[in-house]
């Protein structure tokens, strides 16, 4: 890890984050080396790779190490911080993700919004407020992640934003997923119009649309997210493949 070549240090961080996957090899040792690297590293590319590697290790000890970098001037470093904090229901991690949902960089905002909306099952007024801020985001995917996050929490304020998306010129897959998650019969007219307009199509949008129609046509389950585990922490969903492979190509 003492290489003077930035790309080699990036590669080293990538390897430490992925070593032994799917059966982790020496996770504590990998964490220790990454933490030591973070203490002296200044290059933004390497800092980003360390953040992503911490996320791959899924070790909550990384949270206090990453939080100070959440205000770093380089957007790629902040992106790495988001990756490192995903899936942690820790209060400090969530507070930092909330702040990063307002980041000027759309990729940082998008992944922070995904982290709050989908990667953790924690449900607080602060999380809902942060997601609600993003339902009018200029970035399509960020807006969609906010819709899904609020719909999973059965927040009634997301109904109108979902309808607005379903009636827009370009309907994204996330808006359809949000409609399915909310399971509100008042979405049926907008979904039915799309079903009519998309007759003959058989892509993932249509499949999700039909799932949404079925979901909205039955009585939905009681509001709220699934039960917490004995430790007070909900089971963590898997992240998109991109979150795990990003670092491997980011330095090329």
Domain assignment of residue 172, given as a range = 126-225
**Domain count along the chain:** 1
pLDDT at residue 179 tops 60: yes
CA 179 to chain centre: 18
90 in a structural domain: no
CATH number at residue 174: 1.25.10.10
Averaged pLDDT, 21-33: 93
243 in a structural domain: no
**Which of residues 175 and 250 earns the better pLDDT score?**
175
Give yes or no for a contact between 82 and 100, defined as CB atoms under 8 angstroms apart.
yes
Residue 23: per-residue pLDDT? 87
Evaluate if pTM is beyond 0.75.
yes
Give yes or no for a contact between 92 and 63, defined as CB atoms under 8 angstroms apart.
yes
38 confidence band (pLDDT: 50, 70, 90) = very high
112 in a structural domain: no
140 in a structural domain: yes
149 in a structural domain: yes
The 10s digit of each residue's pLDDT in 93-133 is 999 999 999 999 999 999 999 999 999 999 999 999 999 99
Give the gyration radius of the chain's Cα atoms.
20
Please choose, from the candidates 161, 148, 150, the residue with its C-alpha nearest in 3D space to the C-alpha of residue 224.
150
The 10s digit of each residue's pLDDT in 193-222 is 999 999 989 999 999 999 999 999 985 444
20 in a structural domain: no
27 in a structural domain: no
Give yes or no for a contact between 190 and 166, defined as CB atoms under 8 angstroms apart.
yes
| Torsion sign (Cα): 137, 143, 146, 147 | positive
Ramachandran region of residue 74, left (φ > 0), alpha (ψ -120 to 50) or beta? beta
DSSP secondary structure of 181-229: HH--GGGHHHHHHHHHHTTT--SHHHHHHHHHHHHHTSPPPPSSPPPP-
197 in a structural domain: yes
141 confidence band (pLDDT: 50, 70, 90) = very high
């Amino acid at each position: 890890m003492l290489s003077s070549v930035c790309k080699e240090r990036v590669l080293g961080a990538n390897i430490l984050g992925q070593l032994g996957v799917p059966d982790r090899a020496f996770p504590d040792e990998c964490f220790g080396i990454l933490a030591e690297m973070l203490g002296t590293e200044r290059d933004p590319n390497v800092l980003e790779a360390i953040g992503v590697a911490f996320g791959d290790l899924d070790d909550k000890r990384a949270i206090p190490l990453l939080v100070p970098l959440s205000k770093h001037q380089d957007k790629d470093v902040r992106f790495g911080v988001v990756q490192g904090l995903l899936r942690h229901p820790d209060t400090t991690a969530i507070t930092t993700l909330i702040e990063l949902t307002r980041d000027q960089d759309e990729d940082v905002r998008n992944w922070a919004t995904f982290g709050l909306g989908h990667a953790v099952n924690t449900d607080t007024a602060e999380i809902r407020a942060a997601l609600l801020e993003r339902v009018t985001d200029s970035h399509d995917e960020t807006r969609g992640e906010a819709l899904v996050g609020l719909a999973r929490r059965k927040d009634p304020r997301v109904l109108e934003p979902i309808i607005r998306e379903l009636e827009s010129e370009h309907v994204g897959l996330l808006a359809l997923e949000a409609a399915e998650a909310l399971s509100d019969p008042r979405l049926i007219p907008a979904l039915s119009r799309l079903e009519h307009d998309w007759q003959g199509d058989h892509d993932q949008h249509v499949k999700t649309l039909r799932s949404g129609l079925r979901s909205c046509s039955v009585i939905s389950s009681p509001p709220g997210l699934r039960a917490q585990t004995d430790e007070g922490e909900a089971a963590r969903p898997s992240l998109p493949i991109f979150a795990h492979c990003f670092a491997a190509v980011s330095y090329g």
